[in-house]
């Protein structure tokens, strides 16, 4: 009895200690942000790694999501003779929810895990302490450019996800199933609002970009400097950032679209 209570207490304390360390770490990174801008090259290299190299998986996934969405929604809507509503259904689902969320989940798996493993391995091989020895702050030199690149890249990837997904829905709906092309686009334009839907989706993906990359670099920086520790940190990074994205998505949706 006492021991299980003690374990619960220890877990709670550990959780809050970790949360506090995460926030302090974020403050340090934010303080290091201004020093990234003069070293623009570092940022470009990171955008290449987390952004450009994520393009294939984002494009393939979004095309499939859009096509499946078009097919499924068509089968339901055609019963009500309302298949012309396919355009708004596909576009709204993608722009509001699927684009930001699925792009963030894929980003956590594709780029977040790589960031954690890279930083964790740097720590395990004592490259980070080596830098400190040379009076180079690893938070400024290693972590800050990666965080900034993630925050910059994920909204772009999410926008691309939505656009390609709508293309996939268009291909299946209009190209294969014969929904009227004009109705598809005109109803979509009628229902999808630029500020309400598109901009809110972009804000969502920016928030996800901060959270996913933050968790990824923090887990890497906090990793046990052993092979096992790095592997655990990578797993935690993907699991925590995925859960954070899904949880935050509900909160953000409630804030953005909850009230009419």
Taking CA atoms, 217 is separated from 41, 122, 147, in Å, by: 19, 12, 7
- Residue 81, phi then psi, degrees to nearest 5: 60, 30
Report the residue number, 50 or 212, with the smaller CB distance to other proteins: 50
| Binding map of other proteins across residues 185-204, x = CB under 8 A, - = no contact | xxxxxx-xxx--xx------
Report the residue number, 25 or 171, with the smaller CB distance to other proteins: 171
The residue within the footprint of other proteins, chosen from 61, 73, 143, 160 (CB under 8 A), is 160
Report the residue number, 120 or 145, with the smaller CB distance to other proteins: 145
| Minimum distance, C-beta of residue 206 to other proteins, in the bound complex (Å) | 13
- Listing DSSP states for 178-233 in one string gives ---HHHHHHHHHHH--IIIIIIHHHHHHHHHHHHHHHHHHHHHHHS-SSHHHHHHH
Are 108 and 237 within 8 A, CB to CB?
A: yes
| Minimum distance, C-beta of residue 25 to other proteins, in the bound complex (Å) | 27
Interhelix angle 40-50/144-170, rounded to 10 degrees, is 40
| Minimum distance, C-beta of residue 211 to other proteins, in the bound complex (Å) | 20
Establish if 205 lies at the interface with other proteins (CB under 8 A). Answer: no
| Minimum distance, C-beta of residue 156 to other proteins, in the bound complex (Å) | 3
161 Cα distance to chain centroid? 12
- Chain residues 218-257 in contact with other proteins, contact rule CB under 8 A: none
First to last CA, the chain: 50
Report the residue number, 42 or 244, with the smaller CB distance to other proteins: 42
| Binding map of other proteins across residues 55-94, x = CB under 8 A, - = no contact | x------------------------xxx-xx-----x---
């Amino acid at each position: 009895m006492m021991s299980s209570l003690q374990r619960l207490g220890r877990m709670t304390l550990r959780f809050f200690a970790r949360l506090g360390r995460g926030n302090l770490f974020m403050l340090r990174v934010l303080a290091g942000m201004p020093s990234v801008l003069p070293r623009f090259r570092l940022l470009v290299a990171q955008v290449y790694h987390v952004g450009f190299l994520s393009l294939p998986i984002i494009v393939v996934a979004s095309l499939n999501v859009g096509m499946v969405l078009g097919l499924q929604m068509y089968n339901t809507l055609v019963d009500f003779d309302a298949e012309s509503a396919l355009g708004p259904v596909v576009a709204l689902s993608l722009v509001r929810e699927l684009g930001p969320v699925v792009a963030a989940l894929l980003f956590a798996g594709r780029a977040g895990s790589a960031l954690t493993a890279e930083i964790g391995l740097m720590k395990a091989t004592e490259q980070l302490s080596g830098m400190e020895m040379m009076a180079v702050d690893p938070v400024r030199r290693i972590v800050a450019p990666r965080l900034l690149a993630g925050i910059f890249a994920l909204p772009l990837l999410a926008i691309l996800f939505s656009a390609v997904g709508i293309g996939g829905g268009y291909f299946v709906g209009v190209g294969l199933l014969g929904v009227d092309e004009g109705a598809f686009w005109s109803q979509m334009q009628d229902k999808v609002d630029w500020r309400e839907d598109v901009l809110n989706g972009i804000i969502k993906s920016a928030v996800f970009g901060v959270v996913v990359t933050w968790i990824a670099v923090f887990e890497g920086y906090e990793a046990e400097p052993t092979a096992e520790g790095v592997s655990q940190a990578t797993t935690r990074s993907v699991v925590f950032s995925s859960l954070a994205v899904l949880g935050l998505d509900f909160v953000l949706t409630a804030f953005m679209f909850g009230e009419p």
